[in-house]
């Protein structure tokens, strides 16, 4: 059966929607990063906005039929080393292969050298990304820990590196 998952490039009209989804995403990750929203109850969006304005970066909404079920943000379009900047599937859509199909679509849309980082304590992401890397890497993947810049108080990130 053909997949119902599609990637829709994020353009200006999607920015407010993406900013709302970003709040849900940052709340999910706050469990691992120890981050809090500001006095207005909002997580910072500066990082997201860089994907709207920087020509080295892009973003996609993940759609399933007529629903938005997540987003993907990619950097390194010009530099040649693609990095999975951020990746989010709405909770109601999880464990239904939505993330899997979206990840395969995005890395194959931007073939080349890739890196993906996650916190090992984010067990879902750790399992998910190692499975994705195993599937898409043409010659296996490298798996290493790197300190999180400016955040010595949290555990190092795990980075997977591979070529698609
Ligand atoms: C990680 C995330 C993207 C996975 O998306 P998803 O659509 O639920 O994943 P899929 O259904 O495509 O899962 C594919 C495989 O990944 C693994 N996996 C995914 N979620 C898992 C979980 N909670 N526990 C264990 N394995 C998991 C499984 O092997 C799964 O295959 P299976 O369901 O046949 O066992 C999603 O949980 C999410 O958005 N989490 C919050 C944000 C986040 O952590 N993003 C990544 C930041 S690095």
Pocket mutation for ligand 1, best pick of 87, 91, 128 (most atoms within 8 Å of C-beta): 128
Instruction: List strand residue ranges (DSSP E) for 10-136, in order.
Output: 57-64, 67-75, 81-89, 113-119
Residue closest via CA to ligand 1's atom 16 equals 128
Q: Which of 109, 105, 94, 100 is nearest to 129 (CA)?
A: 100
Centre of ligand 1 to C-alpha 113, Å, is 22
Give yes or no for residue 22 CB within 6 A of ligand 1: no
Quote the domain boundaries for residue 44: 5-163
- The string over 59-80, giving b where at least 16 C-beta atoms fall within 10 Å of a residue's C-beta and e elsewhere, is bbbbbbeeebbbbbbbbbbeee
Mean pLDDT lowest for which of 15-19, 54-58, 79-83, 151-155?
151-155
Model confidence, pTM: 0.96
Instruction: List strand residue ranges (DSSP E) for 14-112, in order.
Output: 57-64, 67-75, 81-89
Return the SS3 of 112.
Answer: coil
Which ligand 1 atom lies nearest to the CA of residue 25?
42
Q: Which of 29, 99, 95, 91 is nearest to 71 (CA)?
A: 99
Give yes or no for residue 98 CB within 6 A of ligand 1: yes
157: which strand partners? 119, 146
Could you tell me the two tokens for 35? Answer: 């981050």
Please state the domain count of the chain.
1
Which ligand 1 atom lies nearest to the CA of residue 93?
7
Do the Cβ atoms of 75 and 82 come closer than 8 Å?
yes
What CATH number does residue 57 fall under?
A: 3.40.630.30
Could you tell me the two tokens for 53? Answer: 């304005």
Please write the tens of the pLDDT for every residue from 87-145.
Answer: 999 999 999 999 999 999 999 999 999 999 999 999 999 999 999 999 999 999 999 99
Please write the tens of the pLDDT for every residue from 132-142.
Answer: 999 999 999 99
Distance CA 140, CA 31 (A): 30
Do the Cβ atoms of 7 and 102 come closer than 8 Å?
yes
Which ligand 1 atom lies nearest to the CA of residue 86?
47
What is the pLDDT at residue 79?
87
């Amino acid at each position: 059966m053909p997949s119902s998952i599609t990637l829709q490039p994020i353009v200006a009209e999607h920015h407010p929607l993406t900013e709302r989804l970003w709040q849900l995403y940052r709340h999910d990750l706050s469990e691992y990063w120890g981050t809090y929203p500001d006095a207005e109850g909002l997580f910072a969006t500066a990082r997201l906005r860089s994907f709207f304005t920087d020509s080295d970066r892009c973003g996609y909404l993940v759609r399933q039929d007529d629903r938005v079920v997540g987003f993907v943000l990619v950097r390194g379009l010009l530099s040649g080393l693609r990095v999975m900047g951020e990746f989010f599937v709405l909770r109601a859509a999880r464990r239904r292969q939505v993330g899997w199909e979206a990840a395969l679509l995005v890395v194959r849309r931007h073939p080349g050298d890739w890196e993906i980082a996650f916190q090992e304590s984010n067990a879902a992401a750790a399992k998910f990304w190692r499975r994705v890397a195993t599937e898409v890497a043409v010659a296996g993947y490298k798996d290493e820990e790197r300190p999180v810049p400016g955040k010595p108080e949290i555990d190092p990130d795990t980075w997977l590196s591979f070529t698609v």
